[in-house]
Structure 1
Amino acid sequence: MKPITKVLIANRGEIAVRLIRAARALSLRTVAVFSTPDRYAPHTVLADEAVHIGPAAAASSYLNADALLAAARTTSADAVAPGYGFFSENADFADAVTAAGLTWVGPPAAAVRAMGDKVQSKAIATAAGVNVIPGYVGVVDGVAAAVDVAESIGYPVMVKASAGGGGKGMRVAWDRRDVEEAYGVCEAEAVASVGDGRLLVEKFVEHPRHVEVQVLADGHGGVIHLGERECSLQRRNQKVIEEAPCSIVDSGMRAEMGAQAVALARAVDYTSVGTVECLVSGVDRSFFFLEMNTRLQVEHLVTGAVVGLDLPMEMLRIAGGERLSLTQDDVRMSGVALEARVYAEDPRRQFVPATGVIGSYQEPRLPAVGKATRKAATPPADVITADRSGVSADGDSGLWPPPHLSALGFDNAGVLVDSGVTDGSLVGVHYDPLLAKVVVHAPTRAAAMAKLGDALDAYVIGGVTTNSPFLRALTRHPKVLAGDMTTTLIGEEYPNGFPGTPLSGAEVSAAVAVAAARYFGSHPASMSVAVRVEADGPPGEGATAGPREVVLRRVGGDGGGATPGVLQPASFSDNASVAMTSDLTSGASGAFITVGPVGERSLGTGAVSLVTTTVNGEAVTLQRLGARPYEDVGAVSLSLGGGTLSLRVRCPSAVDLEEVCARGAERAAAALGGGARGRVLPAPMPGVVLSVAVAVGDEVAEGDEVLVLEAMKMMNGLKAPFAGRIKALRCAAGDAVSFDDVLVEFE
């Protein structure tokens, strides 16, 4: 190994930004590569140099080996860092990099090949004394063979790609039909993702938890593990929220899992950063080897936060020939870290990928440690909690925040956003939908979960739909709060997709009070205000059941000893506290509410504003959608807690007139109804048509697959919504389509 002076980052998005910052901390120069739409992306701007490598399609840019090596040559880079995804686990590319005389910032190609093939990796793991999943049988050749293997093992089984990862080419099969359907889909996704369509079938562990162990190895024989993290919150095998440490792992289990992970790394002469993934039984905590990821993981920051280590920086140091900066005895886990992955997708439309241009962007800014903050949620009393994180994992409570957090990029509230986007970023269909990761650290799991929810409330991404409301809902889910999680939890709890978050009565009250306070601030002579409120999301306990009018009356003082009925001084302004009475919480008049000074900052084009204040002394953060003033005739939309409220803020004398206008508007809307397009199949998401299974004149039954749409490397089979004859095809294989485009017409 030779020292590195300039590193080419063969990636994009948030991981490219993270690697550039790590390299800069080590005084290394950096070279970014970018496709045409990424010309002004954050990673392109941040690097010392940037090279254009091709058009949008990954195959012509970030997966173009010749273009990447040419960029390294022309810039005199002496190392290539792949991050994760793209070429990160491609042994042939690793060989090409070293053959060109460059340093590969990753494990040896031989280790990548050995662990990248799930069949070979299982054999190596078994020989190394690592627990493996029972019922493993090897690669299968064809659908019939897959069915035979599945039935010999016993259902349920997992059909999955032999190479690759990230949830691509993986399906659970519960019967013969599932296997037959899964085989083709898994094969196609595996080919599209990594160019290798080989599949295997193995026993599916029911009630599984996904727990992985981080390993670190240098080129001098040093191999250690950095403890475990849990990644059980997954949707379609894509991780959603990760945490470290795992709440059901004790010190003995951690030592055993770590020892097996280290043994596996030594068995393949591993160097660099790597992860050994395991399935853990939620019944008896037995664990089984799943696979080894021979690269940096997306969730590396939760491990970095609890052990105090910058893993991208360690990766670069190891590639440059240095020894590990710590021994196994030096590893200590302190506190709890959580990470939420923010994807460009619409959770209310079955999580279909979303596209657009980000028009407003603001990362969360929570109060520093010691200032007012929302109280941590607690699980219901009848839920048995597995949370043992009241102290750090090694039993040392210590002081918080640990000094290493700021070195990793956390702010003084213990929040870090690892982002690859900013205002003006284009979100298209060509790359993974991951936009950013919100990471938090706190002394306990309950505090970390509360903080993650607050950070998501304060994170503004305008112009493109994201899964933030869904992530926010998970942070308040009773099973998640209790640590009672499996990899099937999301599918079980949201079988029909995510319907939205019902807001509690307290959250509705807080939003209404803030809107009223803003109205009083701009109307110093007004003593009362009427707020018409309707909560978004499904009916639920404590949620608003429908439109209702709330009247709030301003009273004297700032809440400290104020007497209801005493008028507020006319000098009140936006920057002062306001005390009000209303029937918000109990349905009876007289409830007393104090709203502190309200701060509101318009972001980007003004389409989103971030609102911060306190309600009865508790910190509240809301997002206001749209630039409409609070006293305008239209609705004001406020978002908090993963849900949205539509409010109409008016003086009480205008309520009757507003109701008359609303009834007239409803009658006009009914008279103008219609607009049906007939019997058509529209595109449920933007993407590229991969194949069309029908022709004009064909007879189809309802539910027959008519075409396959590829979006962000996932194959989506679209089925006929009607039985009948194909009247017209509005698309062909290879066509790029937008949301709601008509694809097929039926007679």
Structure 2
Amino acid sequence: MSFSRVLIANRGEIARRIQRSCRKLGLESVAIFSEADRDAPFVAEADHAVCIGPAAAARSYLNIDAILEAARATGAGAIHPGYGFLSENAEFSARVEAAGLVFVGPSPQAISRMGSKIEAKAAAEAAGVPVLPGYRGADQSDDRLLKEAQALGVPFLVKASAGGGGRGMRLVTSLGAAGEAIAAARAEAKSVFGDPAVFLERYAPRARHVEVQVLGDANGYVLHLGDRDCSLQRNHQKLIEEAPAPDIPDALRSAMYDAAVRLARGIGYRSAGTVEYLYDPVRAEFYFLEMNTRLQVEHPVTEAVTGIDLVEWQLRIARGEALGFAQGDVSFDGHAIEVRLAAENPAENFRPETGTITLWAPPRTVRLDSGVEEGSVVGHHYDSMLAKLIVHAPDRAQAIRRTVEALDAFAVGGVGVNLAYQRALLTHPDFASLRHHTAALPEMFPGGWTAPVPDDQTRALAALALHLHLAPAPDTPWQSLGAWRVTSNAGRTGAACYWSDDDAPIRVAGQRARLEVILPDGTRIDVEDARLTAQRLTGRTRCRPFTRQGHVLRSGDRWQIYLSTPDGTMMVPLRTLEDQHLQRAFGAAGGADTLSAPMPGAVVEIRVTPGDRVSKGETLVVLEAMKLLQSLPAPVAGVVAEIYCGSGDTVAGGAPLVRIDPEDKI
């Protein structure tokens, strides 16, 4: 079982994370990459790298033959699957072992058994782990499922047996809708997982999602490394994770630990794994959900509170080493929070964002597991998660505060990232007071979340930052005088104008020692000794000093100023006088009557043909980007004049898709 070179069958931040532990143990790493990831950081940082196919995951990161060939060609003795992709694929694990390689993870038998939610719940029951009432039988006929639904009562969930991540899942609140929900869940399960089997389970409203980290070696010794709370979720995808899970009675917490260890021991589990529960605070009960037979995205919070490197121990166990510590040796220190940073726009139904990262300025004082850096290209082929921010503090309140501070110090340009949304979750009173649960988002933001907008002071300071950027500090007294001396001696004040997206000008007048910012409504802000150095904007207003993080970038036909504010980092777009002239000369691209692709993607479906009459907002095209389907609406009402794409086409961001003759011009 000895090996010195590990192939990492994954990409992005988790590939870099595994590389770190490989270096720690003196192991060489092999990166596999698709053509789309050729210039990614995880490729450059590996000891060896092999291109295994085109961008499409099915032809690269899910191509078992290509991965095994890469391992053979590079002399890798082991394969670490990371998470996602093939990490819980029993066939992949079996083929790795059949090729004479070491799979860094549990046995194929354990993966297969826990991969079926029906079998996993049976194993949990056998180990004495509480499960939610429901139906998990082999009879999958409509009659039997509807009969069991009647007996179970609403609300209940229909769930795919082979599912995960919320796919193949439907909530039923009315028995009259049960048949339709079962059919929809079954169809999605068949499409996504290749297995149409479903089961029924009582729905526990306002429950929290709590999980226990286990670690087992090849000798059958299993222990736990505490618990995590992952209750803040969107569409069953976790957003924020923390360790330990707060406000759980000690006796119940111990019962969760014992049940998780019993289950792992009962199936002969080795490597790192996670037993997931629903915790009902009202009834003070917990129920088995599933077991993840892989490293979890949220594993860093457990590492933070235990000081144990989980990836290191995965590798050690795969080499045949026994756990070098006992349960009594595991101690827990403080509280940790992890925030997932994704390229998406939460204010627009979490629309995926793509493009080139022109600014990547993370805080330096906390852990960041990142798959990108400045200059990285974010495409539409893979999951939108870019990085994870991990913060450790003595207690939960301080952990929340430090995480917010870290988000406030984080600036990203070129691609939209959910920094402000995650900040809103962390600062919401429901999260602080533990009123949150797995379905809490509609309660926390009843009308949907709205992104904060820059206030007048922020817009003024953004204009000031751009002004200083375009007129840097002089090197000589002659440069410091410049044109200002003429206007000053003539009794006039030199000024420059900057325009925001609403075409309202912001004027900056005066000299560096004393500048005046005049907002469109006439409000004046006096600033003394203004400086923009090392991405910090400093000065004094009303004799009070201020300092803001400030990044100034050029993007297309405008400037983007990223400025830290009490509500987090905000971007203020501004144009100079030259930009205004150019925009007027050349006009805006595109037209209000044309539907364009908001991002690169693949055309899945075209729902109209030329000559069709459509309403404004009606779906014309379905686009797939970052594993999500985007329904693209008609920009205006009218008649479809031209269609510029076909089903299956790959289109660039901004590409015209459908042109409409507007109703008011027909």
TM-score (norm 2): 0.81
Deviates more, 1:681-690 or 1:109-118: 681-690
Q: Is the 8 A contact 1:532 1:647 kept in 2?
A: no
CA deviation after TM superposition for structure 1 residue 222, in Å: 1.1
Cα distance between partner residues in 2 of 1:649 and 1:677: 22
- Among 545, 552, 570, the alignment partner of 1:644 is 570
Deviates more, 1:41-50 or 1:618-627: 618-627
Which residue of structure 1 lines up, in the alignment, with residue 76 of structure 2? Answer: 77
Cα distance between partner residues in 2 of 1:614 and 1:117: 63
Cα distance between partner residues in 1 of 2:400 and 2:134: 37
Structure 2 counterpart SS, 1:4 = coil
CA deviation after TM superposition for structure 1 residue 462, in Å: 2.3
The aligned amino acid for 1:428 is: G
**1:122-201 correspondence runs (5 A):** 122-138=121-137, 141=140, 150-175=149-174, 186=185, 190=189, 194-201=193-200
CA deviation after TM superposition for structure 1 residue 269, in Å: 0.8
CA deviation after TM superposition for structure 1 residue 455, in Å: 1.7
Q: Is the 8 A contact 1:353 1:686 kept in 2?
A: no
Cα distance between partner residues in 1 of 2:51 and 2:350: 32
Cα 1:306–1:469, aligned 2, differ >3 Å: closer, same or farther? Answer: same
Cα distance between partner residues in 2 of 1:480 and 1:613: 36
CA deviation after TM superposition for structure 1 residue 483, in Å: 3.0
Q: Is the 8 A contact 2:552 2:559 kept in 1?
A: no
Deviates more, 1:180-189 or 1:300-309: 180-189
Which residue of structure 2 lines up, in the alignment, with residue 486 of structure 1? Answer: 437
Cα distance between partner residues in 2 of 1:175 and 1:688: 36
1:299-345 CA-to-partner distances (Å, cap 9, x unmatched) read: 10001000111111110011111111221111211111111111111
CA deviation after TM superposition for structure 1 residue 26, in Å: 0.8
Cα 1:224–1:29, aligned 2, differ >3 Å: closer, same or farther? Answer: same
Q: Is the 8 A contact 2:220 2:269 kept in 1?
A: no
Instruction: Confirm or deny that 1:626 pairs with 2:553.
Output: yes
Deviates more, 1:516-525 or 1:685-694: 516-525
CA deviation after TM superposition for structure 1 residue 471, in Å: 1.4
Structure 2 counterpart SS, 1:323 = coil
Cα distance between partner residues in 2 of 1:549 and 1:498: 29
- Among 647, 670, 688, the alignment partner of 2:602 is 688
Q: Is the 8 A contact 2:372 2:387 kept in 1?
A: yes
CA deviation after TM superposition for structure 1 residue 522, in Å: 5.0
Cα distance between partner residues in 2 of 1:180 and 1:741: 41
Q: Is the 8 A contact 2:460 2:506 kept in 1?
A: no
Structure 1 counterpart SS, 2:443 = helix
1:199-236 CA-to-partner distances (Å, cap 9, x unmatched) read: 33322211121111111111112111111111111112
Cα distance between partner residues in 2 of 1:717 and 1:521: 46
Cα distance between partner residues in 2 of 1:441 and 1:65: 38
**1:26-175 correspondence runs (5 A):** 26-138=25-137, 141=140, 150-175=149-174
Q: Is the 8 A contact 1:637 1:645 kept in 2?
A: yes
The aligned amino acid for 2:282 is: V
Cα 1:643–1:48, aligned 2, differ >3 Å: closer, same or farther? Answer: closer
The aligned amino acid for 1:626 is: L
Which residue of structure 1 lines up, in the alignment, with residue 477 of structure 2? Answer: none
Q: Is the 8 A contact 1:146 1:179 kept in 2?
A: no
Which residue of structure 2 lines up, in the alignment, with residue 735 of structure 1? Answer: 649
Which residue of structure 1 lines up, in the alignment, with residue 387 of structure 2? Answer: 436
Which residue of structure 2 lines up, in the alignment, with residue 426 of structure 1? Answer: 377
1:73-115 CA-to-partner distances (Å, cap 9, x unmatched) read: 1111111110101110000110000011111100011111111
Structure 2 unpaired stretches of 5+: 475-479, 662-666
Q: Is the 8 A contact 1:135 1:153 kept in 2?
A: yes
The aligned amino acid for 1:328 is: Q
Cα distance between partner residues in 1 of 2:595 and 2:158: 30
Q: Is the 8 A contact 1:350 1:498 kept in 2?
A: no
Deviates more, 1:281-290 or 1:167-176: 167-176
**1:210-609 correspondence runs (5 A):** 210-365=209-364, 413=365, 415-495=366-446, 497-501=448-452, 600-601=533-534, 609=535
1:225-254 CA-to-partner distances (Å, cap 9, x unmatched) read: 111111111112111111111112243222
Cα 1:510–1:155, aligned 2, differ >3 Å: closer, same or farther? Answer: farther
Structure 2 counterpart SS, 1:206 = coil
Deviates more, 1:275-284 or 1:12-21: 275-284
Cα 1:419–1:553, aligned 2, differ >3 Å: closer, same or farther? Answer: same
1:340-388 CA-to-partner distances (Å, cap 9, x unmatched) read: 11111122221111111222223312xxxxxxxxxxxxxxxxxxxxxxx
TM-score (norm 1): 0.73
Cα 1:681–1:674, aligned 2, differ >3 Å: closer, same or farther? Answer: closer
The aligned amino acid for 1:87 is: L
Q: Is the 8 A contact 1:531 1:649 kept in 2?
A: no
Structure 2 counterpart SS, 1:72 = helix
CA deviation after TM superposition for structure 1 residue 637, in Å: 5.5
Cα distance between partner residues in 1 of 2:126 and 2:168: 27
Structure 2 counterpart SS, 1:448 = helix
Cα distance between partner residues in 2 of 1:3 and 1:534: 64
Cα distance between partner residues in 2 of 1:98 and 1:37: 29
Deviates more, 1:616-625 or 1:94-103: 616-625
Which residue of structure 1 lines up, in the alignment, with residue 3 of structure 2? Answer: 4
Cα distance between partner residues in 2 of 1:181 and 1:440: 44
The aligned amino acid for 1:355 is: T
The aligned amino acid for 2:437 is: T
Cα 1:346–1:635, aligned 2, differ >3 Å: closer, same or farther? Answer: closer
CA deviation after TM superposition for structure 1 residue 34, in Å: 0.9
Structure 1 unpaired stretches of 5+: 366-412, 537-546, 555-569, 573-577, 602-608, 651-657
Root-mean-square deviation (Å): 4.5
CA deviation after TM superposition for structure 1 residue 429, in Å: 1.4
Cα distance between partner residues in 2 of 1:738 and 1:271: 45
Structure 1 counterpart SS, 2:549 = strand
Cα distance between partner residues in 2 of 1:327 and 1:725: 71
Cα distance between partner residues in 2 of 1:702 and 1:170: 31
CA deviation after TM superposition for structure 1 residue 193, in Å: 5.0
1:554-584 CA-to-partner distances (Å, cap 9, x unmatched) read: 9xxxxxxxxxxxxxxx9x6xxxxx9x99999
Q: Is the 8 A contact 2:160 2:199 kept in 1?
A: yes
Which residue of structure 2 lines up, in the alignment, with residue 375 of structure 1? Answer: none
Q: How many residues align structurally?
A: 637
1:155-184 CA-to-partner distances (Å, cap 9, x unmatched) read: 333333322423333343434687677667
1:489-525 CA-to-partner distances (Å, cap 9, x unmatched) read: 22333355432026799x9599689859969995999
The aligned amino acid for 1:89 is: E
Structure 1 counterpart SS, 2:19 = helix
Cα 1:9–1:728, aligned 2, differ >3 Å: closer, same or farther? Answer: same
Identity %: 43
Cα distance between partner residues in 2 of 1:451 and 1:529: 43
Q: Is the 8 A contact 2:212 2:226 kept in 1?
A: yes
